[in-house]
Structure 1
Amino acid sequence: MDTTTTGLDLFGSDRSVVAMRVDGELEDLQRPISQDATVEAVEATSPDGLNIIRHSATHVMAQAVQQVFPEVNLGIGPFITDGFYYDFGNIDPVTPELLKDLEKRMKKIVKENQRFVRRPVTEEEARRELADQPYKLELVDSKGGHEAEGASVEVGGSELTIYDNVRRDGETAWKDLCRGPHVPSTKYLGNGFALTKSSAAYWKGDQANDQLQRVYGTAWASKDDLVAYQTQMAEAARRDHRKLGAELDLFSFPEEIGPGLAVFHPKGGMLRHIIEDFIISEHLKRGFDIVYTPEITKGGVFHTSGHLPHYAETMFPPMNVDEERDDQGNITRAGQEYYLKAMNCPMQNLIYKSRGRSYRDLPIKLFEMGHDYRYEKSGVVQGLTRMRGFTQDDSHIYCTPEQAPEVIKNLLGFFDEVLSAFGLGEFYLELSTRDAEGKNQDKFIGSNEDWAEATRILQEVCESSGLDLVPDPGGAAFYGPKVSVQAKDAIGRTWQMSTVQYDFNQPERFKLEYTAPDGSRRRPVMIHSAKLGSVERFIGVLTEHYAGAFPVWLSPVQVHAVPVAEEFDSYLDGLAARLRAAELRVEIDKSTDRFGKKIRNATQTRSPFIVIAGGEDVAAWAVSFRFRDGSQLNGVPMDRAVAIIDGWARARRNDDPTAGNAESVLGQSEA
């Protein structure tokens, strides 16, 4: 290629291409391309393309903000998952009305078709041009020391660049210190963006620094994609497990207890019991041994495991135990530091170590429903999906290195069976490793050889499974690589669920051994796994997946019985006794409400079966069914009604019973 050839020459006629990758590096389409370069188009709908669109949208938003507040102090404007934000100092609090005004201004800027023009500058030039922007000057001085995703300065780079937004007449409308790349012009953003919310923030995330106003938005490759996202977000809000938890009386988060800690009400407690009973049973079927470990321990255990040196910021502060003082307050007996358990593996290591082990014993499979506590900041806890106190269905398999691939393969099959049982069987795998570029290596322990071997084994087993495998460089635990299951819910969102980790470090740190066939002492490999992950988080995901309308086998109340009048209460008592004898869960509405209100109340419980009894039903020794979709099936004989409900419950189906004739519903229940 001629050195004057640019990406616009190659792709400019295709508006679906927003940038290019030149010899593996993302660049603006305006950049010249050398003759021997390898060039790839970056599509707007690709992850990189969307990030570039979102980063460009932050510049348009910041320009709009500066139109309203000319004296604004500009912070940073990164892209984030599904959107972007920009931090602003010296502006008024952002109201919903202001968000609407800013969005209108952004649309006008987009219509102007302003070009994004990259300009390398020296530090002196940057300081002169940005003399009225204190936060930008700080970034210049630190050469991008603030590492935010998509941050405005190239982190660790030797070159500073400014991006000018240039109008058709050549006038610079706005500029920002930025590493890029960006779309060629604002017109590439089209109508695929919207502002979503605002919040308070701190410069560089430090509460000791200035408080700022953070404005969030979302941007997509097209208006249709934006509408699809907004529709999904509206549906997600309708399904929010915190709202449904209150409506269905499942769980709550009392302020008196503190953030990140939940209490489960009777119905939520029943749902939790069903899930925990299921997962315990599934472990027992596969030869796991149940163990229990305490929720508090001396700090030395976590020093040995490596968690205190590498994980301390996520653990609750220690408590001083057994310290004694005299009447004058002098310490007469030193105390010891105890920690709340943040993970279960160190204590299970001590169980393994409690006696000698032979190669004939391996693999040893230990499992517990471990209660753990992690010191999440109050601003990031979110309902059941991010908590300070939670329960893991946590297992650790101790095996020989030769056994590890088969162990991991079996665990992947276990994950599939468990998630499919709950209706979450559509998923892909994510392989989290050390950063391939060698960054942040101090976060990880162990030799390069051990990491390479562990990563190889995980990757080969996952690839042989036939499941999609996505890389996650830098996402590994400090002690070894991991694979996580990313499950898709009913509205297309993905959630991290099951995990498996290959650990060669803790067996060494705890000096775990087994006797090999030749009599030598060898180290086992330790395979961590959780199938549900956090039980509480799993319940939150299930609640949103089913929008609170759980399948029959999971429903805390499977049958909500409604008498047409008080005189039929005793009739339904008889039905309830039969259902409870069959270990089915039933409630009877014996309130003084009118029948119509009872039906409305029953519908709001989202129970899969609403059973109604009136005069005609009693005379025929029958009941009537009302289903979640509002349809009804009348005059179902009592014995058949019990069989229908019992059949659906025992089948562990995840679809809904639907109205039809009694024979077809009964047939479905026995399928």
Structure 2
Amino acid sequence: MSSAELPVADAAQVAITLPDGSVRTYARGTTGAEVAASIAKSLAKAALAVKVDGAVRDLALPIERDASLEIVTDKSPDSLELIRHDAAHVMAEAVQSLYPGTQVTIGPAIANGFYYDFARDEPFTPDDLVKIEAKMHEIVNANAPFTREVWDRDEAIRHFLSIGEKYKAEIIRDLPGTETITIYRQGQWYDLCRGPHLPSTGRVGHAFKLMKVAGAYWRGDHRNPMLQRIYGTAWRTEKELAEYLHQLEEAEKRDHRRLGKEMDLFHVQEEAAGSVFWHPKGWTLYRTLERYIRAKLDHAGYVEVRTPQLYDSSLFKASGHWDMYGDNMFKIRESVAEDGTEKLLGVKPMNCPAHVQIFRQGLKSYRDLPIRMAEFGNCHRNEPSGALHGILRVRNFTQDDAHIFCTEEQVPDEAAQYFKLQLGVYKDLGFDRIAVKLALRPDVRAGSDEVWDKAEEGLRQALRANGLEFEELPGEGAFYGPKVEFHLTDAIGRSWQCGTLQLDFVLPERLDASYIGQDGARHRPVMLHRAILGSFERFIGMMIEHYAGKFPLWLAPVQAVVATIVSDADPWAAEVAAACRKAGLRVEADTRNEKINLKVREHSLSKVPVMLVVGGREAENRTVAIRRLGSQQQEVLALDAAIANLIAEARPPRVAIPSIQRSKSNDNVTKPGRHRRARRRPGRTRGPAAAAP
């Protein structure tokens, strides 16, 4: 309904547009609760809050102007944040009730839960958490209403200082002068808060649990006092809470750091914080994945390159990374002997500026495009030490990165080929639940709004043309262009952001990349930044947790162990292992003088997929007893048959991407809406890490 069609409201009325497009007129000052009641009694009962022109507000707040309005219930996406925010308030009341003299500071909702920071001389213990949680259930049962009050700034400061809440007084003192000071009460307890809140503490429900206590500096500054942070989780239902707690238990069992040690894949240590020491088995896994990706890229028409690690700062200043991303870069000062000055160098955090340098070598024609340039680039990023986490968050990583230089007309076809390649890889690697998101322009960015409009719309059209549903993420794009993000859901329901496709008009302009068009003039290429895995390190860590270390046979670092029952079978075990290796299988022999049950237990802990058990009977009959990981069953086969079965099972997924032919004919120039594939020499490829910043 257009504004011209809205009912005419007088000064004492407001026009409310509901989600179905209908418009209702109410007296000015009507509350969200009253609007819900006018629609249906059941809706009024279910209402938790309202969204007025997209902003969540208390049900009790009056509506003073024409607006769109949506009733928030426990089925709404916004309900979880409200529940978690109010759970933090309930926890703070419980703490101050049980431990008088404790000061409350800041307590927001966060992903999967909430926390509150407390100033207390005596540390909280696990037993304290049990008591606090029990008190929280009492407060929820009391079902006290949340009520909003507006206080005078100076009076609020004086009041909080008078009751010993110096942190609250400091918060109010530092707020902008235009900020309204609001206090929310729940029964006799109250707190400084902007809101919004649920109607009452009872609406928080009982699906919450306190998780742990940690230290936190006041306002995140190490020069400030250390506070105690209590973390909790809160959900809409007991079922959701149970599912989340089960996920945490599963995540602990699948922790890649523990499994990496048990499987002897890698380790990290303080002397090289943020870097990975790959052990032989882990490096075998890494190289197997790399070979698979390289084969995919060869068949998709990529050429592989290798670029330096260290660059003069001038390159990153020209690209814009020095200003936009410099805090995350490692920098080195180099003395220039001739004049005693110093030069500042940067260690490569991503591959894109270097790939533009290769593109700029020699004259490029429209006939050469698209050029798909890939690199398994070794990159470094100056991640904070507190953010490092096993091999999931590191400082030194390999990025399975590539950049496609093409014309604007070629973008739809290049995006389509990328989507096909990307989704095929994820399926091969065991991920079939994939969410696609479009990250849009950030506040700090390079390029004009006109360029960003074109880039964002280009990616929208590419996604729609390929039938991919997507969610838009305002403000989360890279500084030089919007990006499509692929979020994979693992075996226990966690989401991981991996591959990206970024459409970039900015970097070719900044670094003066050009090609000669059909008209004989110079033109800027479009640059598509794309990653499939992201970083090898992070993706392997993710796969370890996804598979719980039980890799499919083609990926497993050790595909089979030949284990003897008796020492008399040692010669046959050696022969079996040699035959398997000759067939290309990754096999080890275990001829230790130990009981077979011990060997089975140890190799199961190491997640070896197959054990070939041999004893005197197997040696005599030239057979092997095949035992699969996690199974008590055994299958006895002749050696040749066993090897044939394992070879078939261990074969990597077939490369299904057709080779792309490049023609030098002028007839193959890409026209709008049509793209002929060009002949391209198959290249060798390398790849991304965390998608380029």
TM-score (norm: length of structure 2):
0.87
In 2, the alpha carbon distance for the partners of 1:414 and 1:388 equals: 28
Secondary structure of 2:512's partner? coil
Contact preservation (8 Å) 2:84, 2:235:
yes
SS of the residue corresponding to residue 226 of structure 1 reads helix
Corresponding residue for residue 268 of structure 1: 282
CA distance in 1 between partners of 2:497 and 2:159 (Å): 45
- The amino acid that maps onto 1:521 is R
Provide the C-alpha distance between the structure 1 equivalents of 2:268 and 2:307, rounded to a whole number of angstroms: 26
Please say if 1:135 is aligned against 2:170.
Answer: no
CA deviation profile, 1:297-350 (whole Å, cap 9, x unmatched):
11111111111111111112x2122444xxxxxx95323211111111111111
Indicate the residue corresponding to 1:372 in structure 2: 379
Alignment-derived partner of residue 180 in structure 2: 159
Alignment match, 2:480: 479
C-alpha distance in 1 between matches for 2:65 and 2:195: 23
Structure 1 counterpart of 2:334: 321
Q: 2:404 aligns with which of 397, 402, 411?
A: 397
Q: Distance in 1 between matches of 2:465 and 2:104?
A: 50
Aligned position for 1:492: 493
- Distance in 1, Cα, partners of 2:335 & 2:342: 5
What's the CA shift string for 1:198-220, capped at 9, x where partnerless?
Answer: 21111221222222111111100
Q: Which runs of 5+ in 2 are unaligned?
A: 1-25, 655-693
Counterparts of 1:358 and 1:411, CA distance in 2: 23
Letter matched to residue 335 of structure 1: E
Q: Partner of 1:644 in structure 2?
A: 645
Residues 599-638 of structure 1 mapped to structure 2, 5 A cutoff? 599-638=600-639
1:429–1:462 contact (8 Å) kept in structure 2: no
Q: Say which SS state the counterpart of residue 312 (structure 1) adopts.
A: helix
Deviation at 1:517, TM superposition (A): 0.9
1:277 matched residue in structure 2: 291
Residue 167 of structure 2 aligns to which amino acid in structure 1?
Y
Q: Distance in 1 between matches of 2:359 and 2:295?
A: 22
Q: What is the Cα deviation at residue 70 of structure 1?
A: 2.5
SS at match of 1:310: helix
Counterparts of 1:339-358 in structure 2, within 5 Å, are 339-358=346-365
Q: What is the aligned partner in structure 1 of residue 59 from structure 2?
A: 29
Q: Say whether residues 1:566 and 2:567 are aligned partners.
A: yes
By relative contact order (CA 8 Å, sep 6+), the higher-ranking structure is: 2
Hey, what's the Cα distance between the residues in 1 that align with 2:495 and 2:644?
A: 37
Q: Which amino acid aligns with 1:361?
A: D
Q: CA deviation at 1:45?
A: 4.1
CA distance in 2, matches of 1:83, 1:475: 23
What are the within-5 Å matches in structure 2 for residues 379-458 of structure 1?
379-434=386-441, 441=443, 443-458=444-459
The letter of the residue matching 2:174 is S
The code of the aligned residue for 1:162 comes to I
Distance 2:480 2:322 in 1: 12
**How far off is 1:36 after superposition?**
5.2
- Measure how far apart 1:133 and its partner are: 2.4
1:239 — aligned with what? 254
Which amino acid in the other structure matches residue 32 of structure 2?
Answer: G
Secondary structure of 1:402's partner?
helix
Instruction: Give the drift of 1:651.
Output: 5.5
Alpha-carbon offset, residue 175 of structure 1: 1.2
For 1:35 and 1:133, the matched residues in 2 are separated by: 37
Letter of the structure 1 residue corresponding to residue 561 of structure 2: H
CA contact (8 A) 2:292 2:652 kept: no
Query: For residue 33 of structure 2, what is the aligned residue in structure 1?
Result: 8
Shift in CA distance, 180/501, structure 1 to aligned 2, threshold 3 Å:
same
- The DSSP-based 3-state class of the residue aligned with 2:272 is coil
1:602 shift after superposition? 2.0
Aligned residue type for 1:320: R
**Separation in structure 2 between the aligned mates of residue 478 and residue 206 of structure 1, nearest angstrom:** 28
What's the offset of the Cα at 1:157? 6.6
CA RMSD of aligned residues (A): 1.9
Which one of 215, 219, 222 corresponds to residue 234 of structure 2? Answer: 219
CA distance in structure 1 between the partners assigned to 2:33 and 2:236 by the alignment: 18
Corresponding position: 1:307 with 2:321 = yes
Corresponding residue of 2:14: none
Return the letter of the residue paired with 2:168: K
Please give the per-residue CA displacement for 1:97-122, whole angstroms capped at 9, x wherever unaligned. 22222111111111111211111223
Q: TM-score, normalised by structure 1?
A: 0.89
Runs of 5+ consecutive residues of structure 1 not aligned to the other structure: 145-155, 167-171, 325-330, 436-440, 654-671
Aligned residues: 622
1:624·1:632 contact (CA, 8 Å) conserved in 2?
no
Partner in structure 1 of residue 367 of structure 2:
360
Cα offset, 1:17, TM superposition: 3.6
Partner of 1:396, secondary structure, is strand
Distance 1:503 1:282 in 2: 24
Alignment pair present for 1:229 and 2:259: no
Residues 229, 41 of structure 1: CA spacing in aligned structure 2 closer, same or farther, 3 A cutoff? same
Instruction: Assess if the C-alpha contact under 8 Å between 1:621 and 1:637 holds in 2.
Output: yes
The letter for the 2-side match of 1:20 is V
> What are the Cα deviations for residues 65-106 of structure 1, in whole angstroms up to 9, with x where unaligned?
222333223221111111111112234223222222211111
Q: Is the 8 A contact 2:568 2:616 kept in 1?
A: no
Aligned pairs (5 A) from 1:454-473: 454-473=455-474
- Asked whether 1:20 is paired with 2:20, we answer no
SS in 2 for 1:483: strand
> What is the match of residue 336 of structure 1?
343
C-alpha contact (below 8 Å) 2:33/2:47 kept by paired residues: no
Query: Cα 1:276–1:505, aligned 2, differ >3 Å: closer, same or farther?
Result: same
- Report if aligned partners of 1:91, 1:213 keep a CA contact under 8 Å in 2: no
TM-aligned CA distance change 1:631 to 1:133, over 3 Å: same
The one-letter code matched in structure 2 to 1:484 is E
